[in-house]
Structure formats: C-alpha cells, structure tokens
Amino acid sequence: MCGIVGAVAERNITPILLEGLKRLEYRGYDSAGIAVIDSDGQLMRLRRSGKVAELEQAQQQEPLAGRIGIAHTRWATHGAPCERNAHPHFSSNEIAVVHNGIIENHQALREQLKGLGYLFTSDTDTEVIVHLLHYKLHEMGDLAAALKAAVQELHGAYGLAVVAASQPDRLLAARSGSPLVVGLGLGENFLASDQLALRQVTDRFLYLEEGDIAEIRRDSVRIWDIEGREVQRETLQLQEGAEAADKGEYRHFMLKEIHEQPKVVQRTLEGRLADDQVLVQAFGPQAAELFAKVRNVQIIACGTSFHAGMVARYWLEGLTGIPCQVEVASEFRYRKVAVQPDTLFVTISQSGETADTLAALRNAKGAGYLASLTICNVATSSLVRESDLCLLTNAGPEIGVASTKAFTTQLVGLLLLTLALGRSQQRLAAGLEAELVGELRRLPSRLGEVLGMEKAVEKVAELFAEKHHTLFLGRGVQYPVAMEGALKLKEISYIHAEAYPAGELKHGPLALVDSDMPVVTVAPNDELLEKLKSNLQEVRARGGQLIVFADEQAGMDKEDGVQVIPMSHVHEVLAPIYYTLPLQLLSYYVAVLRGTDVDQPRNLAKSVTVE
Ligand code: F6R
C-alpha cells in the first residue's frame, strides 16, 4: 500500500528518497512522486504514474536536488491512478504533503476549502490536507502549530509528511491509524512508513504512536502526543542486516521466501521448546497465568492470515477441546459480538498493521475478553505494541506480496499456542505434546525435503498456463490449505480459483466441472482420505482434470485425467504445513508461465493499512 519517505540532511537527499521508494515497492503502488526544497528555497516536485523506475528516469532528465524533501508511492483509493493524483500534493507551491490512509470527511472539507478560494487539481482525499494546512499556516505562522490544528479537523486514517518552503529546515509528521517511523542519523534524520525504506541510511529508529506529531530537523526530533504534551519515544537499534532487499540467487522474492521456509520455521521454534514441551512463557510473562483461565478462543485476521486461523481452529478444538471461532477482521469489527466468558482474543498478522485487524483489536478492548494475543512477524508493529501477549514468528521481512513464509511460520506459532493452551489446562492426550514437539523439531529439515518436489510441480504448472478457472478441494484441516492454495493462485496468476470443502462439491460447484477445469486436491493419509477419494470420483466421472498432491501411502494412482504428485508420509497434525509448500510452488510456476508480475501483482498491496 502507499509508502512514505522523508529526509532532512546537509547533503542532497534525492537519492535517499528514491532508494527508499524502491525499498517500499514491494508494498504495491500505482504511481510515485518526490518533492524537495531546492537551493533557491523553491518547492520542486516530480510525479509519475507507474513504477519508481519511471520517476527515477524523469529525475535523471530533470534533476531535483535539495537537503529536505518527501516522497511517496501511491496505491489509489480516491481518484484514478494517474500523475495528477500522485503525491506529493502542493498548495500554492508553498506546502507539500504526502499521505497514507483515507480522509473520510474529505468531501465536506473540500467544499469548505473551495469556499475559501482554494483550487483543487486532483481527485484525491489528500489534497484537502495540504490546502487546510496552507490555510492554518497563514493563520498561525508556525508549521507545527498549523499541523496540530489541521489534524483536529481530519476524520479517518493518516500518516502524513509535510514540508513548507517558508520553513526549510524542518520536516513535520503526523500519525493516526497509519504507521510512521523516524530514522536517526548523524547530523541528518529521516522519516518513513516502514523502517525498511531507511535501512540503507540508519539502523536507529523511533516509532511514532497513535496521535503523535513529530518535528524532524537535521539535529533534533521533537514529538508531541495526542494530548499535545511533548514526549520522548524509545530509540531502538536494529540488529538484523538489511537482508530483505536482496533476491540473492532467486528470480523473484516469492521463490526466495518459499525456499527460506525451513530456515525461518527453525527461527520460529528457537527458544520456544523445552525437551518435550512448549515453553508457555514464549507468549509473554503473563501467559502462564492467563492460559490457565482460557475457556474459549476468538481468532481474527485477514487473507492468508485468516487461513492460518482456520487451520488453528481444527487444532484447538481437535487436540484440546477448547472452543474456537475464526472470523475475518473486516466483518468482525462491524458486528455486535456476544463475548463468551474467559475468551482469549487472538489476532494473526504478518505486518501487524492491517487496518481491519488492528481496528478489531481496538474494539475488543473493554468488550469483555480475557486478554489479547497476537501472532505477528513485525516486532515493532502496532498489533504487537497494543496486545497483552505476543508470539513473534521471526520469519524475517517478507517482500513478495503473496504471503508464503509468513503463513507457514504463523501455522507453527498457532500449533505452539495449541500445545501451550492444552497443557495449561491438562486437556492434551497423554504423550501428545512430547510427540508433536519431536515432530516440530524435525519440521525444518523435512520442509527442505518437500521443496525437493519443485521440478515436479513446475512440470504440472504447465497444465494451468492456458486455463481460466480452477477448483481447489480439501477436507477437514486441509480445507483451509486448499483455500490458501486458491488465494495464492488467483493473486499472482490472475486465474480464477475457488476452494471448496470436497464434500460440498455435489451441492453446487460440480456443475462447473468439465475437461477444461483443473481440480487441485491435497490428500494426506488421514481419516478423511476415503471420503475424499469418493469426492474425486465425482470429479472424474464429469471429465474433470485432477491434480492430486497425495501421501505416497494414500493409494492414489496416476490414471487418465489424474496427475498424482506423491508426497512423503507426514504426521497428520503437521500435514497442513507440509501440504502448503507444493501449492505455493504451483501458483509461483503458473504465474511465471503466464508472465505476471509475481512479486507485485496488479491491484494488490503488501500491507493493507486502509479499510
Ligand atoms: C495474501 C496476503 C494477504 C494478507 C492479508 C493480511 O498472500 O498476503 O491476504 O495475508 O492482507 O495481512 P497481514 O497478515 O499483514 O495482516
């Protein structure tokens, strides 16, 4: 989704801004722009629809240079993706603003500002902010005071960066509902919506909190909180190397991230297992006390993270008997919910900034839940900071828009949660925890073996290159795995893919099946195998083409119209983790064959920070 970069320094900051935008490209965007105050004190800008590379080319032809500036990648919400709507937006060539988020009362503000004589040159909600600021600046004379006054009139979500030609030594920022981080340098300071944008210039960061306003100068950073009090925010020194921006030997980040899964799953497990037990304290110091009280679990997430939650429901109810409900955040947040006593409220998110998931957590506070827990990949994210308990998945930065290693590490985290909760309440079958801990220890190396199927999957992908529709089938805990497989395929190859519980076929979707419709199925050797086989017969009888990822002991044979890709026998409980990998590879190779933009599929954003 939209990205912000800002810098104030003694050197020319244009290359820093452009590099920052490149590092944010993975988030998805449709136009980009940059504004600086040049050596004559003039605000200058360049904007382009399309990729940052086009902006960079334009910058080579009409070089911009300055010691203070802001830049943006836009993902269109209000107004088409075109140059006129790209940020930065200007008011009278005096103020420039970049904005992430959505201003809900933009229509009313636009009318007011037009009444005051302001001319609008874009269709965006953002343009009201820059004119409002211009008006306040002329009224008050001070940019920080003007920003504090202007944000009082904004309804909605924003992360803002502002520069004004009349005050060329300071960069202003405001955060409400859209993250911002300040990067600290030596005699220079920076701003971004994601620290990744600034890793080339600093490893010291402070994170703005909800309602904060910041004034960033070359040699100082001042912050005021939502009440207007001047506050200090903790500075964090990041240890991890700037590994993320590098694809290494791989053609795409997605393929790199698929192959990283053995290593990152190992990291998710590190420090979380004792000899034959899960360490409850891995979820936080209060976890042991709280887990003993949990009678019910409510899981909230979006997209791929929601699918991880669906798998967890099978584990929690199946292995511990603790009731569990799973819902997408965008529905849950607007629903009146009857909260069961002693319910643990669990959010799952790769980014920790997904607007709907965060809103659901905020609504849950004070609604009667026992406590909140997040399973998240970003330690500094809003979800982590605002939840009572947390388990970091430690998957490392995920750059491909399609979530891969984030999903499997979430599953590992959720299995750890299942075992920790089950033991806290003596609800696990004797010996089960020790058995599954052993299986978890073997998981990284066995995932490496599963990746050995890559060539076979690449071959099968050819069957999909010309297709327009596919069905994914699974039963039981494999149903959410099928849902995740279908989501991966549709988002990066643009082939319409739907997932169904295999038993639902004859209640409608069977009507779609013909020889032009590949049907993908995951078939571990579990208690539902025989039922699944009957469902697959229904598909065969209608001429459907089956592609089955099947346990080598499942007795599935290759026949006309049936491609069987054998999988080694795996533990039934961990099967959803193993069976996810070939489906990720399948969608990857289909997308490559179709020539799509695998890492940045059209219309999608990595971190969905607007509703
Ligand atoms: C799909 C994908 C999305 C995200 C969803 C939630 O590959 O990545 O469906 O899973 O937008 O994002 P997070 O997990 O960051 O809350």
Tell me the catalytic residues. 2, 606
Residue 518: which residues within 8 A CB-CB, separation 6 or more?
463, 464, 467, 470, 471, 544, 545, 546, 547
Q: How far is the CA of 425 from the centre of ligand 1 (A)?
A: 32
Q: What is the pLDDT of residue 244?
A: 56
pTM, two decimals, is: 0.77
pLDDT of residue 241: 53
Q: How far apart are CA 289 and CA 283, in angstroms?
A: 11
Nearest to 87 by CA among 142, 140, 7, 163: 163
Q: Which tokens hold the place of 217?
A: 């100068």
Ligand 1 atom with the smallest distance to the CA of 306 is 10
383 close to ligand 1 (CB < 6 Angstrom): no
Task: Specify the ligand 1 atom closest to the Cα of 488.
Answer: 7
**Torsion angles phi and psi, residue 93, rounded to 5:** 55, 20
Q: What is the DSSP string of 293-360?
A: T--EEEEEE-HHHHHHHHHHHHHIIIII---EEEEEHHHHTTS---PPTTEEEEEEESSS--HHHHHH
* Nearest alpha carbon, ligand 1 atom 8: 403
Contact 232, 375 (CB under 8 A): no
Task: Map 349-394 to HEC letters.
Answer: ECCCCCHHHHHHHHHHCCCCCCEEEEEECCCCCHHHHHCCEEEECC
d(CA 422, CA 440): 16
- Residues 579 and 481 sit within 8 Å (Cβ to Cβ): yes
The alpha carbon of 307 and the centre of ligand 1 are apart by a number of angstroms equal to 10
**250, 256 Cβ separation under 8 angstroms:** yes
pLDDT the model gives residue 242: 46
Per-residue model confidence (pLDDT) at position 296: 98
304 Cα nearest atom in ligand 1:
10
Q: Is the CB of 382 under 6 A from ligand 1?
A: no
CATH architecture of residue range(s) 452-601: 3-Layer(aba) Sandwich (3.40)
Question: What is the side-by-side order of every strand in the sheet holding 204-207?
Answer: 43-49, 31-37, 68-74, 3-8, 189-192, 181-184, 204-207, 235-237
Whether 309 lines ligand 1, by a CB cut-off of 6 Å, is no
Q: Could you say which of 3.40.190.10, 3.30.300.30, 3.40.710.10, 3.60.20.10 is the CATH number of the domain covering 3-237?
A: 3.60.20.10
In this structure, which residue's CA is closest to atom 16 in ligand 1?
A: 349
Please indicate whether residue 381, judged by its CB atom, sits closer than 6 Å to ligand 1: no
Pocket test for ligand 1, best of 1, 305, 392 (most atoms within 8 A of CB): 305
The CATH homologous superfamily to which domain 249-428 belongs is: Glucose-6-phosphate isomerase like protein; domain 1 (3.40.50.10490)
The phi and psi torsions of 521 (rounded to 5 degrees) equal: -135, 145
Distance CA 87, CA 97 (A): 7
303 lines ligand 1 (CB under 6 A): yes
State which ligand 1 atom lies nearest to the alpha carbon of 607: 15
Task: Give the contacts of 571 (CB within 8 A, at least 6 positions apart).
Answer: 436, 439
Residue boundaries of the structural domains of the chain: 3-237, 249-428, 452-601
403 lines ligand 1 (CB under 6 A): yes
Computed from CA positions of residues 16, 22, 24, 29, in that sequence, does the dihedral angle turn out positive or negative? positive
Q: Answer yes or no: same fold for 249-428 and 452-601.
A: yes
Ligand 1 contacts CB of residue 350 (under 6 A)? yes
| Residue in 194, 349, 414 to alter for ligand 1 test, most ligand atoms within 8 A of Cβ | 349
Best mutation site among 1, 307, 354 for ligand 1 pocket (most ligand atoms within 8 Å of CB): 354
Coil vs helix vs strand at 243? helix
Counting from 1 in the atom list of ligand 1, the atom nearest the Cα of 301 is 16
Q: Residues of the chain whose pLDDT is less than 50? A: 242-243
Q: Beta partners for 12?
A: none
357 lines ligand 1 (CB under 6 A): yes
Q: What is the mean pLDDT of the chain?
A: 93
The one-letter amino acid code at 562 reads V
Site to substitute for ligand 1 among 350, 481, 580, 587, most atoms within 8 A of C-beta: 350
